[in-house]
Amino acid sequence: MERLGAGEALMRGMARLDARAERWALRGGGWAVALHEFVCFGVKQASACLFGGCMVALLVLTWAFYPQGAWLARYDFLTLAALAIQGALILLGLESREEAWVILLFHLVGTAMEVFKTAVGSWAYPEASLLRIGGVPLFTGFMYASVGSYIARAWRLFDFRFVRHPSFGATAWLALAIYLNFFAHHYLPDARLLLFAAVAILFGRTWILFRVRDAYRRMPLLLGFVLVAGFIWLAENVGTFTAAWRYPAQRHGWSMVPLGKLGAWLLLMIISYVMVSAVAGRRLGKGR
């Protein structure tokens, strides 16, 4: 008898459930078909957010229930829990090794930026920990990596294709410029407006095609970037509310992260997207 991994067994069970739902939708007519596709879209999005959703849940749960004065610091627990989640997702077949490499790469990129940003006072981590580099607890790299994880998983689950996509070389140079500006704007004029213009020029004519079930749908890729940046901004509000990190304006009490941070997250999205495209794009291909 064939033995299935937990992840493969779950996927087959979901496929059988989806087939039953599809038969129901076809009997129900147009509205039922549309509802079925909407539900499928939500399920795929939830699956793509699996790693990031687990990290946000950990922030909330440890803020609410983690015992004060525990021998293992909360930040260190978050680091170990993130490693355990990552390992479990791979072992269960819910995340590919390729996606894990994307997470590791973005973890390193994010941690390097965190070390610099905390050193110049952009934000701070108020709690003590052992597993840290300078003022940066190591779990923070996983928060950045969850963005890369989402894009990689969504790319595979929705079978992304593109229309009028810029060359990889052009996007790579843009990502490098964005990353350098995160450091340089503390000492040189901020090039953010020029970078926004470059993003609009490169991606303004690009459409992303995504498949929920059988038919492909499409939307402007820039709109997709903005929507994802908006959800990251919401997650950042959760992170600061749970005191996982704090901006200078939040030292004496929590307040919402300014909407202006959406621009920073949009630019960070470009970096993450380009890194994922270097890995996933070769495997999945691009429709031009």
Model confidence pLDDT, tens digit, residues 135-176: 899 999 988 888 988 998 899 889 999 999 999 999 999 999
10 and 129, same structural domain?
Answer: no
72 and 5, same structural domain?
Answer: no
Q: Note down the domain range covering 9.
A: 1-47
202 and 83, same structural domain?
Answer: yes
114 and 37, same structural domain?
Answer: no
What per-residue confidence (pLDDT) applies to 274? 93
Q: How far is CA 101 from CA 82, 97, 119, 146, 281, in A?
A: 15, 6, 27, 12, 14
Sequence-distant (≥ 6) Cβ neighbours of residue 272 within 8 angstroms: 106, 144, 147, 148, 151
pLDDT tens digits along 192-210: 999 999 999 999 999 999 9
Query: With bands split at pLDDT 50, 70 and 90, how would you rate the model's confidence at 47?
Result: confident
Q: How far is CA 126 from CA 47, 67, 74, 136, in A?
A: 32, 16, 11, 10
What per-residue confidence (pLDDT) applies to 206? 96
In total, how many domains does the chain have?
2
137 and 32, same structural domain?
Answer: no
Read off the amino acid at residue 173.
W
Going by C-alpha positions, the residue among 264, 280, 117 that lies closest to residue 183 is 117
108 and 27, same structural domain?
Answer: no
Sequence-distant (≥ 6) Cβ neighbours of residue 222 within 8 angstroms: 199, 200, 203, 204, 206
pTM score of the predicted model: 0.84
What per-residue confidence (pLDDT) applies to 285? 44
244 and 185, same structural domain?
Answer: yes
Phi, psi angle pair for 252, to nearest 5°: -105, 10
241 and 275, same structural domain?
Answer: yes
Q: Across all residues in the chain, what is the average pLDDT?
A: 85
Among 102-111, 123-132, 158-167, 235-244, the range scoring the smallest mean pLDDT is 102-111
85 and 170, same structural domain?
Answer: yes
217 and 102, same structural domain?
Answer: yes
200 and 59, same structural domain?
Answer: yes
| CA distance linking residue 9 with residue 39, whole number of Å | 21
159 and 28, same structural domain?
Answer: no
For residue 286, is pLDDT > 50?
no
